[in-house]
Amino acid sequence: MTAAQLPDSQARSDEPAINEDGPLVVDGRELCVRISSRRRRLGLTVERDRSLTLHVPQGCSIRRAERFVRDSGEWIGDKTRLSDERRQLHPVRTLRDGEIHRYLGRDYRLLVVGDEENGDEGPDGSTATLAVKLVAGRLRMDCCVAAEPAIAKKALADWYIQAGQRWVQGRLQPWAARMDVPEATVQVRDLGHRWGSYRSGSVVGGVVSLHWATFQLPIHLIDYVVAHELAHARVSGHGPAYWRLLGRALPEAGRLKSELDEVGRRVWMGDLAY
């Protein structure tokens, strides 16, 4: 969610333009380019995994994009260092019996069980993924799955995806109404080290994607992430107009952003201690 909108100059019509999303390398620095027909200015995002995303308007020339990245070198360095500091605080997990995991801000203890103990369906409604289930206040994981950390991580992430997808349904409509934007389709998936993203497209209202790890946060911070991404349906980037829109729908947005920065450092993003 960290982004810059820095001054840029107009491209000459005879300069070659960037015509598709993809990688761009500037002075040895690789960026992922995202083109938007709704954008008028260039913007940069430093993702939580330190990767860089360059947001460009339709028809932006390669030369203009390269100049913008070079002019943003100091800003990129500052944000990358800040990202490093925050990333170092994210916990690692062993996925062993008794370990604490969070869902919607509440703590649940991991319980490793045999196949016959996991049953067919738990109170959380899960049926597709039987390797992990929330039953009687415990996250129950099949012992065969728990024996392999990488497999156990995927199983637990899949549970968060399914549980989060069910929980978030209907959660977007109130925020969309407050900002007078179409209700977006929502997807829960792995987003690296980003809490969420918004992408316009052929789907009416666009698509809001949420990281499965977001559902470890307290409910009011999940709502903040949802509102934060929905605001991009009207305003690209994170300029003054964006924060005014979000502030009208969520007056405490500034405080919640600070709280997310602090609480988010202690959220498990999938890193394992082997």
State both tokens at 120: 């067919």
Please list the residues that pair with 93 across neighbouring strands: 272
Q: Is 54 in contact with 14 (CB distance < 8 Å)?
A: no
- Burial label, 98 (beta-carbon count in 10 A; 0-12, 13-18, 19+): exposed
| pLDDT tens, residue order, the chain (274 aa) | 444 444 444 445 567 888 888 889 999 889 999 998 888 889 888 776 678 899 999 889 999 999 999 999 888 888 777 666 655 567 889 999 999 999 999 999 999 998 655 554 444 444 444 699 999 999 999 999 999 999 999 999 999 999 999 999 989 999 999 999 988 999 999 998 789 999 887 678 889 999 999 999 999 999 999 999 999 999 888 889 999 999 999 999 999 999 998 899 889 999 898 6
Entry pTM: 0.70
Q: 163 Cβ partners below 8 Å, 6+ apart? A: 103, 124, 126, 134, 215
- Burial label, 255 (beta-carbon count in 10 A; 0-12, 13-18, 19+): exposed
